[in-house]
Structure 1
Amino acid sequence: MTNGGSSRITLTFLTYSLGSSGFFHSLGYRNSRTKRGWIHKRVSKQDSPKTLVPVVASTTETPKKLSKVEKYKKDSSHLKFPLQQDLEDDNIYVSEESVQLIKFHGSYQQDNREQRKKGEQKKYQFMLRLKLPSGDMPTSLYRVLDNISTEFGNDTLRATTRSSFQIHGVLKKDLKTVFQSIIEAGGSTLGGCGDVNRNIVTTPAPFLTPDYIEVRRLAYVLAEILAPQTSSYAEIWLDGEKAGEIEFWKRNMDMKQVSQLRSFDNGRGIVTGDPVEPIYGETYLPRKFKIGITVPGDNSIDIYIHDVGIVVVSEGNEIIGYNITVGGGLGRTHNKEQTFPRLADHLGFVRREKIYELIKAIVAVQRDYGNRESRMLSRMKYLVHNMGIDAFRELVESYFGERIEPWRPLVLWKHEDYLGWFEQGNGKLFLGVPILNGRIKNDASMRLKTALRVLVDTFPEVRLNVTPEQNLLVKEIEPSTKEQITNILKEHGVPLVEDISVIFRDSMACPAFPLCPLAVTESERVMPNIVKRIETLFHHCGLSKVPLIIRMTGCPNGCARPYTAELGLVGQGPNSYQVWIGGCPNQTRLAFVYKDKVNESELEATLEPLFAYYRLEKRRGERFGNFCYRMGKDALAEYAQNFNSETVRYFKSRVSLRQETYEHLKEVAKFRRLPIAKVAEEIFSTFLSSQDSESNGTTK
């Protein structure tokens, strides 16, 4: 590839003996291809079990009843019909079939339930979601989105948890104009939604070290290898004409080589034979497919919640390969125990030159073995869960044609948000701007939408990056303009990271009411007040300045990732939430259900016992989520049952010192470059520990 200084990619036909220990060979199966895809067919003892060989065979297995969405996809002629006709009629909506098909094109049909009275026709409108690999975009595209949102939308933009932008409130009659405007500006919405690879999320930090450069390069290439190849996108939105502007992330890519990588067939069932969609086939994937890419230690993307997670592995400054995780996903359904959030497993390590074929193999496994009968159970996480990671790995290897190497050890993960000012590494700066719940708008207290427009108009050379926490990075900033950019934001009432509390900094909510059809209660619109109330309670319990990750959703599908938060509020009914606790700050552990159907008005009564217990029993430096996990649900519930807020007194310690002792303490603190309180705590703790040892008879 030409972008990012990557090494030359060699296209090699893969052959590899998998040995007799393979999961499917242990059962006497070999790879076979049928009209439904590749299967593992029973073979006789005369066949060698040492090599998985693709053979053509028929199958007599009983056909399963596919979901109706599968039929819509199959009958659509690669996502075209009846959507093309529906867009030409005078209705303000599209048909049931087209509702599913238009998702692949990057749009959802929605109903503003607050704009209609009972019995009235639904107030249909459309949301568009962009494809922005790694969340990066030029200011020229942002200006177009800003204009569209004002002229055709609801005058807001929504940053998403997958590093993209959504435009809400577009009417059907304006759809073609809006799509064309985005495409002609070098953007795209194809694959923003639907049963394909979605927007690839990466660490948003634009550092210029080899590993961070590789993250972005890989995201761009994989986004194109896995992009839908149907011509219906151009036929419907551009009337079959070629876009006047190529997508901005392709401009430094060798698209001929990308096409070769996509269509390369190793003879093991990865490529479908479909002339339009070589990887997906005519029915695409069973469900959405999500990829996240980062570097060791940087868990700004919640690495374990994706279908596939990719971690760049280096030796010195050389990229040698990637660690791969599989089977993550957070969506679930209330009262359906067969659905659940799941963190990914470690699949293993792959050499750099093999990454594309391995990712294609994983996608092919989900394509051929994922559940197409029940969309509720169709994510790849259920396939990995049901098979087990070892059997899943064997199956991927049968497509890949090679053994997957063991996982390489990594440094510990750390949650990063990149808010504030940073040096990029090329003499320029980037600024992380906190965006409350991702909503870019103007209101009485803050004119964020205007501020960002002034900023990109004044400094068109900068670039923007949406982060996985719904915030925005402004990149490629000349140091000489730092003060001017800061002033633009301040003049419009836009807070920077130093202006917000640690709890607001780590809060996230999904849009929910009034547009999301899955929402059962509020989320984004009530989140600021909810966070303020929780913050007040936290401070009341003596926990001021202690961080707390809070995430809120209006339904159980988990778009704002509440199941990995320290405190998650999951919509369960009108003004009612399921409370999840126990996630860890570095996003590597799931939370657990603490209480069901908690009314919004009962949050303080529900949470105060937990905060009080945490204040009294936490270990030094222990976060709330880790405390809840350590104590366990039963102990927390028992404490809460016996809790009486009137008998609890929260206090701050006060210790008086002689003046000369205090001055000495100040000198030590200055020498060690630590706060006085920190040094004092260390001294007291050391002394008290020695006293404990003496009283226990352990001192020599």
Structure 2
Amino acid sequence: MSEEKKLSENEHIKARSRHLRGTIEEGLQNLVTGALSPDDTQLTKFHGFYQQDDRDIRDERRHQKLEPLHSFMLRARLPGGVITAEQWKAIDEISRNLTSGGIRLTTRQTFQYHGILKRNVKPLIQGINKVMIDSVAACGDVNRNVLCNTNPVESELHETIYNDAVAVSKHLLPKTGAYHEIWLDKEKVANFEEEVEPILGDTYLPRKFKIAIAVPPHNDVDVNGNDLSFVAIVKDGNLLGYDVLAGGGMGASHGEPDTYPQIAKNFGFIEPRDLCTFAEAFVTTQRDFGDRENRKHARLKYTIDDMGVDTFKSHVEERTGKKFKKAKPYEFTMHSDRFGWVENADGTWNLTMFIEHGRIKDYEDGPQMMTGLLKIADLHQGNFRITATQNLIVAQVAKSKKAKIEKLAKEHGLFRPEASLLRLNSMACVALPTCGLAMAEAERYLPDLITKLEAMVDKYGLSDQPIVIRMTGCPNGCARPYLAEIAFIGKAPGKYNLYLGGDGKGTRLVKLYKENIGEEEILQTLEPLIESYSKERKKGEGFGDFCVRTEVVPPIYDGRDFHKNPEGFLSSGI
């Protein structure tokens, strides 16, 4: 008789949660503590929010014999990142009244609030619901916010592709009534056991699941870093269908070589009408075969790598009753945003504004960003689009309003044409003080490091050369650093692992070059490489490609090679 599998504790929490209800409702009523129970803090992720505390004052409160200053971070579900001006006004008002202030644009094309006290969580969720926004499945072991190209070249197709992203998101949502019962005061089901989760199952997925849709040549959603991606194949202005990429993913653990980031694999081509059918089949196959014992091995990338593409593909085809067709050729040229004004096919304009690391605030001694966006929303009365690189687009602006909107954006620190290419191509996760996983700073530190690197590239005449730089406070990879040209992964306070070698298009992984170094060594390490790049690069060659060509680091196209250190390369390995 085979030994019974030992499930992870999260699996037991989900199993006894009564389809994600747990004791969340009772916990909200307990005002003796600002926290929820440990089980419920896992379940609230499925409702879109995390329990956090301010790590800057954690020790101080401990010495005062006080519990940590608990608060919550809530992330909205916003497929494709599209939001109306009226919705933005409501988001702003909620931020001012029910949070610690400010709005943060995320790397999954949505927004999140920080510093929400327990008593304010329910009013906040009800507030966003009034403007048709929710936080269902924004976190947790489910399909999360679906990404979609924000500003593709084939802009006349954007509505079709955006609608596909919305359809996939809706199709894969949990069917439990828990969210509506707890937060929106809907009628409670008589017997939760009669509820059916036909796609996600009673214990949902083994781990989080991420989906993106891209339109070549722009890979602004980093398709290779998602569990499942659909690459639009367009010919003569018509959408032919999608190449299906699966098994990508960021995230690893320091010192654990069995964990690694991975590049998605192309499974083949499908017709547009089959999008939701295939998305469901990938999700249910992962539901049934994903690792429920070891959460560090539970993402789709490991399921596919362990099972093999052909075997996984056969399960998907069996569940859909359809065969993949031969993949269509496509090419990506970049995975960053295009800043400034871009004209749409219909004669309207999009203004992409640089929001450094996605943080929107009215600063006491700086730009009044929230106020500026309210003024733009009043004038524009159209859509905004949040990008997957934490920036914001004022979309479909009439030509007659361009000058006024640009003036408002510049006056309020939202449009910064003077920003360097190095800064425009940088990205960081939240990290300290709110993220419980952070080992080092990211969002609060990277702007200062970029300033020092700007001086370096200026010194060698490279200010006109875009280099994709990303930083995270831990190896989980929320800012998708493993697809950058230069990546800094937090190892300890003030210390980072330095990775090099991405291709600037999001189709190749980085490789470890130096481990556990501080700012002084970071700058000392990068300067000779930057100098060599300025003198020896080929025409049109990016920094990551230069590092690979000159054998500073080896090219990594498969995450299973991420920790390998081929002989002759300078990278130190892990």
Q: Say whether the fold is shared (TM-score over 0.5).
A: yes
Structure 1 runs, 4 residues or longer, greater than 6 Å off: 634-641
Per-residue CA shift, 1:498-518, capped at 9, x if unaligned? 221111110001110000000
1:448 maps to amino acid: M
Q: 2:310 aligns with which of 390, 394, 403?
A: 390
Aligned partner of residue 55 in structure 2, secondary structure: coil
Per-residue CA shift, 1:84-128, capped at 9, x if unaligned? 221121221001100010000000000101134144411100000
Aligned partner of residue 335 in structure 1, secondary structure: coil
Of 181-190 and 402-411, deviating more is 402-411
Question: Which residue of structure 2 lines up, in the alignment, with residue 359 of structure 1?
Answer: 279
Query: Share of identical aligned residues, percent?
Result: 38
Question: Which residue of structure 2 lines up, in the alignment, with residue 483 of structure 1?
Answer: 403
Question: Which residue of structure 2 lines up, in the alignment, with residue 144 of structure 1?
Answer: 90
Alignment of 1:499 with 2:418, yes or no, is: yes
**Pairing of 1:288-303 with structure 2 (within 5 A):** 288-303=208-223
Work out whether residues 214 and 312 of structure 1, in 8 Å CA contact, stay in contact via their aligned partners in 2. no
Q: 1:99 aligns with which of 29, 38, 41?
A: 41
Question: Which residue of structure 2 lines up, in the alignment, with residue 79 of structure 1?
Answer: 20
Of 573-582 and 136-145, deviating more is 136-145
Q: CA deviation at 1:206?
A: 6.8
Aligned partner of residue 547 in structure 1, secondary structure: coil
Q: CA deviation at 1:454?
A: 1.5
Alignment of 1:526 with 2:472, yes or no, is: no
Could you say what the CA RMSD is over the residues aligned between the two structures, in angstroms? Answer: 2.1
CA distance in structure 2 between the aligned counterparts of 1:418 and 1:311, rounded to whole angstroms: 19
Work out whether residues 609 and 639 of structure 1, in 8 Å CA contact, stay in contact via their aligned partners in 2. no
Q: 1:466 aligns with which of 386, 390, 396?
A: 386
Per-residue CA shift, 1:545-592, capped at 9, x if unaligned? 222111000000111111111100000111000000000111110010
Alignment of 1:310 with 2:230, yes or no, is: yes
Alignment of 1:334 with 2:254, yes or no, is: yes
Q: 2:53 aligns with which of 111, 125, 145?
A: 111
| Structure 2 residue ranges without an equivalent (≥5) | 555-565
CA distance in structure 2 between the aligned counterparts of 1:549 and 1:632, rounded to whole angstroms: 19
**Pair 531,171 (structure 1): closer, same or farther in 2 beyond 3 Å:** same
Question: Which residue of structure 1 lines up, in the alignment, with residue 71 of structure 2?
Answer: 125
| Structure 1 residue ranges without an equivalent (≥5) | 1-59, 243-272, 642-700
**Pairing of 1:147-226 with structure 2 (within 5 A):** 147-205=93-151, 209=155, 211-226=157-172
Q: CA deviation at 1:274?
A: 7.6
CA distance in structure 2 between the aligned counterparts of 1:597 and 1:559, rounded to whole angstroms: 19
**Pair 563,616 (structure 1): closer, same or farther in 2 beyond 3 Å:** same
Aligned partner of residue 325 in structure 2, secondary structure: coil
CA distance in structure 2 between the aligned counterparts of 1:430 and 1:495, rounded to whole angstroms: 12
Q: CA deviation at 1:237?
A: 0.5
Question: Which residue of structure 1 lines up, in the alignment, with residue 10 of structure 2?
Answer: 69
Q: CA deviation at 1:352?
A: 2.4
Aligned partner of residue 579 in structure 1, secondary structure: strand
Aligned partner of residue 395 in structure 1, secondary structure: helix
Work out whether residues 147 and 213 of structure 2, in 8 Å CA contact, stay in contact via their aligned partners in 1. yes
Work out whether residues 274 and 281 of structure 1, in 8 Å CA contact, stay in contact via their aligned partners in 2. no
Q: 2:180 aligns with which of 234, 238, 259?
A: 234
CA distance in structure 1 between the aligned counterparts of 2:536 and 2:450, rounded to whole angstroms: 24
TM (normalized to structure 2)? 0.92
CA distance in structure 2 between the aligned counterparts of 1:97 and 1:430, rounded to whole angstroms: 44
Work out whether residues 552 and 569 of structure 2, in 8 Å CA contact, stay in contact via their aligned partners in 1. no
**Pairing of 1:24-39 with structure 2 (within 5 A):** none
Question: Which residue of structure 2 lines up, in the alignment, with residue 445 of structure 1?
Answer: 366
Q: 2:519 aligns with which of 579, 600, 609?
A: 600
1:76 maps to amino acid: S
**Pair 585,274 (structure 1): closer, same or farther in 2 beyond 3 Å:** farther
Q: CA deviation at 1:487?
A: 1.4
**Pair 637,514 (structure 1): closer, same or farther in 2 beyond 3 Å:** farther
CA distance in structure 1 between the aligned counterparts of 2:229 and 2:298, rounded to whole angstroms: 18
Work out whether residues 350 and 393 of structure 2, in 8 Å CA contact, stay in contact via their aligned partners in 1. yes
CA distance in structure 2 between the aligned counterparts of 1:518 and 1:151, rounded to whole angstroms: 28
2:29 maps to amino acid: E
Of 149-158 and 523-532, deviating more is 149-158
1:115 maps to amino acid: I
Question: Which residue of structure 2 lines up, in the alignment, with residue 285 of structure 1?
Answer: 205
Work out whether residues 154 and 237 of structure 2, in 8 Å CA contact, stay in contact via their aligned partners in 1. no
Work out whether residues 156 and 345 of structure 2, in 8 Å CA contact, stay in contact via their aligned partners in 1. no
1:535 maps to amino acid: E
**Pair 347,124 (structure 1): closer, same or farther in 2 beyond 3 Å:** same
**Pair 477,634 (structure 1): closer, same or farther in 2 beyond 3 Å:** closer
Work out whether residues 609 and 640 of structure 1, in 8 Å CA contact, stay in contact via their aligned partners in 2. no
CA distance in structure 2 between the aligned counterparts of 1:210 and 1:365, rounded to whole angstroms: 34
Of 148-157 and 122-131, deviating more is 148-157
Question: Which residue of structure 1 lines up, in the alignment, with residue 493 of structure 2?
Answer: 574
Q: CA deviation at 1:619?
A: 1.7
**Pair 241,138 (structure 1): closer, same or farther in 2 beyond 3 Å:** farther
1:472 maps to amino acid: L
Who wins on radius of gyration, i.e. which is larger? 1
Work out whether residues 336 and 425 of structure 2, in 8 Å CA contact, stay in contact via their aligned partners in 1. no
Aligned partner of residue 464 in structure 1, secondary structure: strand
Q: CA deviation at 1:483?
A: 0.9
